[in-house]
Amino acid sequence: MMLVTVSCSSTFMVSKGVGKRGFLGSNSKTMFDMLCVSGDLEKVLEATHLSKEMKDTFYKYNCSAERSSDKVKQLFLSMTCEERKDIKTAFKANGYSINGGC
């Protein structure tokens, strides 16, 4: 008998292309390059219905000198179910695959 454990992250994993994946809010160089340097996070946020304040905060904690995985997680956990669905849909519309998250 095999036991399978599923963990629940406070955000979700995004991937685009081969070998480019990570959890939203990760402070890794791969995620910074994939989302911020490429300009993709700006495009994703533009495709959402989130408030300007939430978009700005989301961008700040992912892509600015104030990057913080903890603050991204806190922000994501404070979002409504509809807001979470909205941002996941926007990632998909911009060529990303989504995996996990609660």
One digit per residue, the tens of pLDDT, for the chain of length 102 reads 444 334 445 788 999 977 788 889 898 999 999 999 999 999 999 999 999 999 999 999 999 999 999 999 999 999 999 999 999 999 999 999 988 654
Between CA 3 and CA 54 the distance in angstroms is 39
Between CA 92 and CA 31 the distance in angstroms is 16
Between CA 9 and CA 73 the distance in angstroms is 9
Cβ count within 10 A of residue 71: 16
Q: Is 99 helix (H, G, I), strand (E, B) or coil?
A: strand
Structure tokens at 97: 């695959």
Between CA 38 and CA 93 the distance in angstroms is 16
Between CA 2 and CA 49 the distance in angstroms is 42
State pTM to two decimals: 0.84
